Amino acid sequence: MQFTGSHILSINQFEQQDVEYLFKVADAMQPYAQREKRTRVLDGAILGNLFFEPSTRTRVSFGCAFNLLGGHVRETTDIKTSSISKGESLYDTARVISGYSDVIAMRHPVAGSVEEFSRASRVPVINAGDGPSEHPSQALLDLYTIRKELGIQEPVASLRIAMVGDLKHGRTVHSLSKLLCLYRNIHFTLVSPRELCMPAEIVDYLRSKGHSVVETDNMQTGLNNNDTVYLTRIQEERFSNQSEADLYRGRFRLNQEIYTAHCKPNTVIMHPLPRDSRAEANELDNDLNQHPSLAIFRQTDNGVLIRMALFALTLGVAEEVHKHVEAVSWFTAKRFRNPPPIPT
Ligand code: NCD
């Protein structure tokens, strides 16, 4: 794939070699994310960070990633404060904002909207989540995390992953399963209420690529014998009525006791976050916060590296980053930690 100047809209655009290259570029971003040194390779460039749906880590990490490359960020965070609330079309917004920016990251509640926007944009657009459809940068950081947590240097193969929760509306699991499809012999266990199962076209696609897929609504058997368990929140904002979402909250939970009883030791615990920590939901309990296999905050750290890599590649400076380096003069805490060694 030709990264420079391209939109990043869907995992379908990627081949295995593109992912491997992106991960190499992400690895090289570590010293900048760690504040060991700084680069000004994107000094003067502007990111249009358009978030028409709630977001904390995706929005902030796209912004920080751009800042860490020396670029500047302009943000719109709400449909109510943008002209879209006055009836402006995505086409017009795209023409305008792409005149102000060098690259755009965009999140919107409607599936396909980011792609529609990108057709009118004059600069590369990165999909930061379009409704229930896709979230490619999250899938890339998830796979990057899986590899690091499991200590795998080369492309993953024969990975066993359980995806748990709202698999119908969860764009993170849609993109991650498509991304894993690029690799060999993946075993998917899809744990959800029947009404919230993974869309049939995605399950068919996984099977058509030769992967094994087990669908179940039994959490205990679903947790057995995986390398990674990927939990998700009930996506309440996608339900037309809240009382329907209430039916599913809290149905599938992971806590210390359930983990010890049903997961293989060292199973990596992931979640795209936010986890719903309200008592009635609590799909990932705080009692696992100190567990060495809990990868959720290493996942969020890795998001910065992946998003730096995406910007460097789409703006064609991946090989230039180190030519614009300066020292860091302020106090820097060690914040990006490697996963703990896997006990043998
Ligand atoms: C996810 C999303 O927005 O799809 N969050 C994220 O980007 N890390 C998952 C979610 O909201 O449940």
CA distances from 331 to 42, 63, 69 (A): 23, 21, 19
CATH code 3.40.50.1370 region(s) in the chain: 11-133+303-330, 136-297
Q: Which homologous superfamily does the CATH classification assign to the domain defined by 11-133+303-330?
A: Aspartate/ornithine carbamoyltransferase (3.40.50.1370)
CA of 2 to the centre of ligand 1 (A): 27
CA of 173 to the centre of ligand 1 (A): 10
- CB of 138 closer than 6 A to ligand 1? yes
Closest ligand 1 atom, residue 303 Cα = 8
CA of 272 to the centre of ligand 1 (A): 6
State the pLDDT at residue 333: 83
- Which residue's CA is minimally distant from atom 8 of ligand 1? 272
- CB of 108 closer than 6 A to ligand 1? no
State the pLDDT at residue 342: 65
- CB of 129 closer than 6 A to ligand 1? yes
Q: What is the mean pLDDT of residues 158-187?
A: 98
The string of DSSP letters for 246-306 reads HHHTTSS-B-HHHHHHHSPTTPEEE--S----STTT-SB-GGGTT-TTB-HHHHHHHHHHH
CA of 322 to the centre of ligand 1 (A): 32
- CB of 58 closer than 6 A to ligand 1? yes
Closest ligand 1 atom, residue 135 Cα = 4
- Which residue's CA is minimally distant from atom 12 of ligand 1? 233
Pair 121, 50: CB distance under 8 Å: no
Tens-place pLDDT, residues 46-86: 999 999 999 999 999 999 999 999 999 999 887 776 777 78
Question: In this prediction, what percent of the chain has a pLDDT beyond 90?
Answer: 90
- Which residue's CA is minimally distant from atom 11 of ligand 1? 274
Find the helix or strand (DSSP H, E) in which 6 lies.
Answer: none
CA distance 194 to 188: 16
Question: How many alpha carbons lie under 13 Å from residue 76 in its C-beta half-sphere?
Answer: 22
Tens-place pLDDT, residues 126-138: 999 999 999 999 9
What number does CATH give the domain 136-297? 3.40.50.1370
Please work out, in degrees rounded to the nearest 5, the angle formed at the alpha carbon of residue 128 by the alpha carbons of 82 and 185.
165
Tens-place pLDDT, residues 299-310: 999 999 999 999
State the pLDDT at residue 341: 67
